[in-house]
């Protein structure tokens, strides 16, 4: 089965700087996908808007205030927890027994004005057949605010957040299994979109097709060379628009632009 190439997407067998063919199967054809699973932060909005900088700063401030640390010491602890536990929250829970809801409420008090409108994404999600679900290491409230800001809340049928995963962050399997159970998802007809490459390892292991929204940051690109990535996406709206166009038109339905 040959991998499909559509606008906004780079065939995963030919990554930038890598000419060798990938050995993994390319995943299910996009036209056969029934459930679309999306990460939230830096996936449904561009990293260039720097919203995550606010989240990062508020995590540092939370640690500094809670433990009476200097900003520098708080940042060092934050980075250490991220490296050792997958997320800052997990480290705070395991090491410091912090109430996760206190942390999440604090760090997600954000000014969303920097998140730009994306009419192409809005139209693409509306035109794309199948269910759409958010799977995030953040909170449901954070996801709801962002989906509202982007004007795409109506396109999604569910959110699986960090609490639903027992506060075990991706790439731990708990959240993936809960998503499959809660929404009765068949992995072999599901596609997961993520900006952190290593978070697609469990999705592929469970049988999903995967799409990596190319993230140049070291923590985003770590693991991007693995065969668990079926598609590399540079323009999510364009990718989804082209995917929607692959589906047969329903009677009376106008063609996608």
What is the distance between the alpha carbons of residues 218 and 216, in angstroms, rounded to a whole number? Answer: 6
| pLDDT greater than 90 at residue 16 | no
Q: What is the pLDDT of residues 205-228, one digit of tens each?
A: 999 999 999 987 888 898 888 899
Q: Do 56 and 30 share a structural domain? A: no
Question: Which residues on neighbouring strands pair with residue 158, listed in sequence order?
Answer: 133
Q: Do 181 and 97 share a structural domain? A: no
Structural domain contains residue 70? yes
Q: Do 27 and 132 share a structural domain? A: yes
Q: How confident is the model at residue 253 (pLDDT cuts 50, 70, 90)?
A: low
| pTM tops 0.75 | yes
What are the backbone dihedrals phi and psi of residue 85, each rounded to the nearest 5 degrees, phi first?
Answer: -125, 0
Q: Where are the beta strands (DSSP E) in the chain?
A: 9-11, 35-38, 131-135, 158-160, 190-194, 209-213, 231-233
Q: What is the pLDDT of residues 155-175, one digit of tens each?
A: 999 999 999 999 999 999 999
Alpha helix (H) residue ranges in 108-184: 119-127, 140-150, 173-183
Mean pLDDT for 47-62 is 95
Give residue 4's region: left, alpha or beta (phi > 0; psi -120 to 50). Answer: beta
What is the distance between the alpha carbons of residues 47 and 249, in angstroms, rounded to a whole number? Answer: 33
| pLDDT greater than 50 at residue 53 | yes
Structural domain contains residue 167? yes
Q: What is the pLDDT of residue 217?
A: 80
Structure tokens, 180: 């499959």
| pLDDT greater than 90 at residue 37 | yes
* Domain of 101, in residue numbers: 50-107
Q: Do 157 and 76 share a structural domain? A: no
Mean pLDDT for 92-108 is 96
Number of domains making up the chain: 2
- Helices 119-127 and 236-245 cross at an angle (nearest 10°) of 30
Q: CATH number of the domain that 99 lies in?
A: 1.10.150.450
Q: CATH number of the domain that 205 lies in?
A: 3.40.50.1000
| Location of structure tokens 């536990």 | 85
CA atoms within 13 A on the CB side of 19: 0
């Amino acid at each position: 089965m040959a991998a499909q190439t559509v606008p906004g997407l780079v065939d995963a067998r030919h990554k930038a700087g890598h000419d060798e063919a990938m050995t993994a199967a390319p995943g299910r054809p996009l036209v056969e996908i029934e459930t679309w699973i999306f990460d939230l932060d830096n996936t449904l909005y561009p990293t260039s808007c720097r919203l995550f900088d606010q989240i990062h700063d508020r995590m540092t401030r939370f640690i500094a205030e809670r433990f009476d640390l200097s900003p520098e010491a708080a940042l060092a602890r934050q980075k250490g927890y991220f490296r050792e536990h997958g997320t800052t929250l997990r480290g705070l829970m395991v090491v410091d027994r912090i109430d996760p809801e206190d942390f999440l409420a604090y760090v997600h008090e954000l000014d969303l004005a920097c998140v730009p409108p994306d009419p192409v994404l809005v139209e693409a999600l509306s035109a794309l057949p199948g269910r759409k679900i958010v799977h995030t290491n953040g909170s449901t409230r954070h996801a709801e605010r962002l989906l509202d800001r982007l004007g795409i809340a109506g396109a999604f049928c569910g959110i699986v957040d960090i609490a639903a995963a027992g506060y075990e962050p991706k790439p731990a399997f708990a959240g993936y299994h809960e998503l499959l159970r809660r929404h009765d998802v068949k992995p072999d007809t599901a596609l997961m979109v993520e900006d952190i490459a290593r978070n697609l390892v469990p999705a592929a292991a469970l049988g999903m097709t995967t799409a990596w929204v190319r993230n140049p940051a070291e923590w985003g690109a770590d693991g991007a060379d693995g065969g668990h990535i079926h598609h590399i996406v540079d323009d999510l709206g364009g990718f989804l628009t082209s995917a929607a166009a692959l589906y047969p038109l329903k009677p009376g339905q106008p063609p996608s632009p």
